[in-house]
Amino acid sequence: MRRVALSGLLGTAVEFYDFLVYGTVAAL
C-alpha cells in the first residue's frame, strides 16, 4: 500500500513539473 501511495505521489510530482516547464516555455 505504501508503494502505491509513493508511486501516486511521484506521478503527481512529475505531472506538475511537466506542467510547470511547459507553462514556462509557453510564456517565453
| pLDDT at residue 12, rounded to an integer | 95
What local confidence, expressed as pLDDT, does residue 21 receive?
94
The per-residue b/e assignment along 1-28, b for 16 or more CB within 10 angstroms, e otherwise, is: eeeeeeeeeeeeeeeeeeeeeeeeeeee
What's residue 8's pLDDT? Answer: 93
pLDDT in tens, 1-28: 789 999 999 999 999 999 999 999 998 8
This prediction has a pTM of 0.54
Q: What is the pLDDT of residue 1?
A: 78
Q: Break the chain into its structural domains and give their ranges.
A: 1-28
